[in-house]
Amino acid sequence: MARVGYVDESTTVESVRVAFDRMREKRGKVTNIYRALAHKPAMVTTIGPFVAGWLFDTTGKVIGVPERIDFDPEHLKDLRAPAVAADEWGGWVWVNLAAEAATPLTEWIGEDIITDLGQYRMQDMVLKEVVEWDVPVSYKAVVDGFNEIYHTAELHHVGPEWVRSARDTTMAVVNDHNFTCYVPRHQYRDQLAENWDHFKWAICHYVVFPNTTFNCNPEHIQVFNPIPIDVDRTRFKCWELVYPKRDDDPDYPDYERRMEAHWAHLKEVVGEDIAIYQQLERTKRSSGYTTNILSKREYKIFRYHEVMAEMLRD
C-alpha cells in the first residue's frame, strides 16, 4: 500500500479517476496521464513503459497499437493496463498494486494509527510545499533512516538535552506491520510529567508499511514518501502540511511565520538525511561492508525488514 497524492479540493480519489478517464479520452496515452496528474499534485507511481504510442480506452483496455500487423493477435487479445486498488484516508489518495487482492485500506493502516494520527485531521490541512530528491539507494534504506533516532546527534547536531530526552522514546508495532513512535520534546519534560499528552509534548511519528512516514508536530506535519524507481534508485518526496488560514484568526500571521521558520529548518534536516545516501551508494557494494550493527534501543529497523521478509515468504 502506498500513498500517492495529497487530496485537496481539486484532488480526490474520484478526481484522480476522472483525470485518468479524461486524459485517456483526450490523449489516449498513459504517459500523458502521468504528467497531468503530477501537476495536481497527486502522482501515480506505477505507470508502465507505454511509450510506443499505444492507445487505451477509459477502462484501461488497449484499443490502438501502431504497426499492429507486426504483433501476434494472441498477444494483444484483451490486453489492458493493470488495475490498482485506490482509496482515501486522512486527506490522501492511497493505492495498492495488489488490486482486488488488496487488504482494505483502513484495515491495513489499523485502528491505532487511524485513531491517533487521525486526531491531526490532515484532511483539513493544506499543502505548504513538496520537495523531491532523487536518491541512489533502495527506498528501504530511506525508510530505515526515518525509522532510526540514533543518528540524530552526529548527523543533525541535536544537543545533549535532545539526546537525553529521546532515550525515553516509546515505540510500538501496531497491526503487525506499522509503527508508532513518540519522542519526548526536551523543552516540555515538566509538562509531560504532569500529563502525558503526546500530541502536545512529543514528536509523534507513524510509519505505514511499506513506505509512508508521518512526522507530526503539534502545529504541522511532514510526510516522507520514498517511491521505488528501481532496485537501488528512489524518488523521495517530503510533503509539508499546515493548517489553513481562517479569516477570523488574528494569530494566523504569527502561525505562518513560525511554520515558515520550522519548515526552512526541517528542509535542511531532511536534506542531511538524504545526503547520507550518497555515501551509502559509494560503499554499499564494498567487500568490506558485510554487516549492520544496530542499537538495541531501536528495534523498528529490524522489525521492518523482518516484516518485509515475512511478506515476501508468504
| List of residues contacting Fe ion (CB under 5 A) | 273
- Nearer to Fe ion by Cβ, of 11 and 234: the residue is 234
- Rounded least distance, CB 70 to Fe ion, Å: 52
- The neighbouring-strand residues paired with 214 are 206, 223
Residues 6+ apart with CB under 8 A from 275: none
Q: Which of 222, 221, 225 is nearest to 212 (CA)?
A: 225
Measure the CA–CA gap between 16 and 47, rounded to whole angstroms.
Answer: 14
- Rounded least distance, CB 10 to Fe ion, Å: 32
- Nearer to Fe ion by Cβ, of 29 and 220: the residue is 220
Measure the CA–CA gap between 59 and 219, rounded to whole angstroms.
Answer: 41
For residue 23, what is the DSSP state?
H
- The residue number with the shortest CB distance to Fe ion is 273
Residues 6+ apart with CB under 8 A from 304: 140, 143, 144, 147, 179, 207, 209
- Rounded least distance, CB 273 to Fe ion, Å: 4
- Nearer to Fe ion by Cβ, of 43 and 238: the residue is 238
DSSP assignment string, 275-302: HHHHHHHHHTT-TT-------TT--HHH
- Rounded least distance, CB 260 to Fe ion, Å: 21
- Rounded least distance, CB 156 to Fe ion, Å: 6
Q: Is the distance from CB of 139 to CB of 234 less than 8 angstroms?
A: yes
Measure the CA–CA gap between 147 and 149, rounded to whole angstroms.
Answer: 7
- Rounded least distance, CB 148 to Fe ion, Å: 7
For residue 100, what is the DSSP state?
G
- Nearer to Fe ion by Cβ, of 240 and 273: the residue is 273
- Nearer to Fe ion by Cβ, of 56 and 146: the residue is 146
- Nearer to Fe ion by Cβ, of 144 and 273: the residue is 273
